Amino acid sequence: MTLGILGGGQLGRMSALAAIRMGIDVRFLTPPASGGGTPGPVAPFANVTLADWTDPAVLKAWASGCDAITVESEWAPAQECADAAPDVPVRPHPKTLRLIRHKGRQNDALRDAGLPLPRYANCATPEAAHEAARAFGLPVVAKKYEGSYDGYGNATCRTPEELEQAWADLASGDGMLVEAFVPFEGEVSALVARREGGETAVYPIIASEHREHQLWAAHVPAGLAPEAEARAREVAGDAIAAVGGVGLLAVEMFWMRDGSVLVNEIAPRPHNTGHLTIEACGGSQFENHVRAALDLPLADPSLRVPAACMVNVVGTREGPLAPDYAAALAVSDAAVHLYGKADSRPRRKLGHVTATGETPEAAREVAERAVAALGL
């Protein structure tokens, strides 16, 4: 059995490792520019084709050896691949990826399905954006319809002047999204694996911490009351069903003081917060990414440890990567994952460390020690 993955970064790398363990072959298609002409992080683990992935002939030839195809990013040419090789299923479906890519259409689909969301408005003009801000009250959050991630493409606007600047920076031909600012208690996520027939596995809720709008750490349990956790998992499963999600997808949510959750956005792929599932859960997000893409029975997403914490390894300087392996690996109970990137730059995700323990706090202390020991 062979799985094709459009992409070639760390998410593909960890998916390939999960597939290899199950005896599943993996083939990657990635454009040369994404790795500077080299196969990048996935090279040691799979067959990699470096070619123009918008070329129908390339897509057809590459896909012909695959039983199913999935994506590492919502920006991969899934529809072009489906058109070039119509007999090979692409999961998540291209129509789901198109829907999720556009934050306005994504919100509309979730709203129409009755999912809880922050108040929002799809604004086609600067005047509409200011009208939404008056209706919601300042501050508001302005978001690019497409291409925002890790804090890029978003702006919190506290004054009309800041909203005007956000329009200049973020609006596209069809405008931008304006949301009411949510005074949330915390940010959480839920990973959802879903097969074609509807079989679904929802992972435990994961709490996340961001620094400078970039994920820094994630832990389980998330600290929600049992009934709040159950409701959040239900919302996540319903959100993925609402967009026709098949594969492994993530639902980012705001956790409110009263225990309720609001859906922030969906990522149609393995998620940074879910990296801790490798050590913490019966089947990792990457294993279920592979299983769902190939329409195979899903692995158990339940926790197998009392608690776990993942801390990202993020670049702080420019230059070649020179991790202190000995120091990091001397930290007991820390699982060090580096992604095979040759060079560092500020804010670049280079790896992560996961630790398990009796409490999230205890696990975090171990993970942070190992991250610091790497010296990156």
71 is in an annotated binding site: no
Q: In this structure, what token pair is assigned to residue 247?
A: 């594969």
271 is in an annotated binding site: no
Range 318-350 burial, b when 16+ CB lie within 10 A, else e: eeebebeeeebeebeebbbbbbbbeebeeebbb
Nearest to 5 by CA among 284, 19, 84, 266: 19
143 is in an annotated binding site: yes
Helices (H), the chain: 10-21, 56-63, 78-84, 94-101, 103-112, 126-136, 160-170, 226-242, 277-280, 285-293, 325-329, 360-374
318 is in an annotated binding site: no
Strand, coil or helix: 101: helix
287 is in an annotated binding site: no
181 is in an annotated binding site: yes
Q: In this structure, what token pair is assigned to residue 157?
A: 């606007």
264 is in an annotated binding site: yes
349 is in an annotated binding site: no
Q: How far apart are CA 50 and CA 12, in angstroms?
A: 14
Strand, coil or helix: 174: coil
Q: Residues within the annotated binding site for ATP? A: 103, 143, 179-182, 187, 210, 264-265
Q: Residues within the annotated binding site? A: 103, 143, 179-182, 187, 210, 264-265
